[in-house]
A = this chain, B = another copy of it.
Amino acid sequence: MEKIGTFNFVTESYLLDFRGRLPLPMIGNYLLHCAGEHARQKGFGFSDMSQRSCAWVLSRIAIEMSRYPAMSEPITIQTWVEDVGRWFTNRCFSIAGKDGSNIGYARSIWAAIDLETRKPSDLTELGNLKEHITEAPCPIDKPGKTPPAETDTQGELYQVRYSDLDVNGHFNSIKYIEHLLNLFDIEMFREKEIRRIDISYVAEGRYGMQLSLHKKETAPGRYATSICDADGKALCRAAIVWKEQD
C-alpha cells in the first residue's frame, strides 16, 4: 500500500483573497484535511482514535510557500509520516501547482492526547504507527522557534466567537492564522508575500474567551505574533517571514 497520500483540490473563487490568490489559512485547511484523510486511510483517523479514547493534537506546523495558487488552479498535496517518537510524530507535506511543479512544503508535529485524562498518549502503544513511516523530499527547516510577541506590545483585544470554533468546540487552529494575518496592514499583502510561517499551539482557546493579539517586528520582514488569554498566557505563537514579491 502506498505510504504517501495524494490529494487533489481546485481553488474556487470564493476562497481567494483580494489578490486572487489562495490565502495561507486556506492552504492550512487543505493540509489539515489531507492529514486527517491520510490518517484515516491508515487506520489512525479521527474515529479510530476516538475509539481508543484518544485524539490527535497539532503541536507545531511550519508552512513555506514559493508561490500561492491562483483562481481555478488545480493543486496536488502529498503527505507522509516522516517519523514517530514516543510522544510526537512528524508529518510532511509537499504542495504542487497547476503544472505539477512544487510551490510549497510544510512540516507538522502532532501529539495524541487521552480524552479522559487530557494527558499525552504514548504513541508506541497506539499500534503500528511506525510502519507508515517513509522518506520523501521535504527541503524546509523543521518547525522553528516562535518567540513571544506579547512581552512588550499592547495587543489588540478579541473575543472568541461562533465562527472561530471547530468541530470539537475549540478555537479552530486555522482561524488562529486568520486572526494573526489580520494584524498586518493590507499594504503588506499588496507588496509582499508570506514566505514562511512557524506556528506553535500551546493551549486551547474556547468560546467567549477574551484574547489579545500581538505582533512585533523582530528583524526586517520578520515578525513574532501571538494570541494570549486574559492572563497574558500564550495560546498560540507564530513567527512570520515576508518576502518581497517577484
**A residues neighboring B (CB under 8 Å):** 12-18, 20, 23, 25, 29, 32-33, 36, 46, 71, 161-163, 165-169, 172, 174, 178, 181-182, 184, 186, 189, 207-208
Closest Cβ neighbor of A23 among chain B residues: B163
- Give which listed residue, B15, B166, B181, contacts A18 with CB less than 8 A: B166
A166 to B181, CA, bound (A): 15
| Nearest residue, chain B, Cβ from A175 | B163
A182 near B207 with CB under 8 A, answer: no
Q: Give CA–CA (A189, B16) in the complex, Å.
A: 28
Taking a contact as CB atoms under 8 Å apart, the answer to whether B182 and A18 are in contact is no
Contact of A166 with B14 in the complex, beta carbons under 8 Å: yes
- Are B71 and A18 interface neighbours, CB within 8 A? no
Alpha-carbon separation in the docked complex, A64 to B172 (Å): 27
Contact between A168 and B18, CB atoms less than 8 A apart: yes
User: Which residues from B are CB-within-8-Å of A208?
Assistant: 186
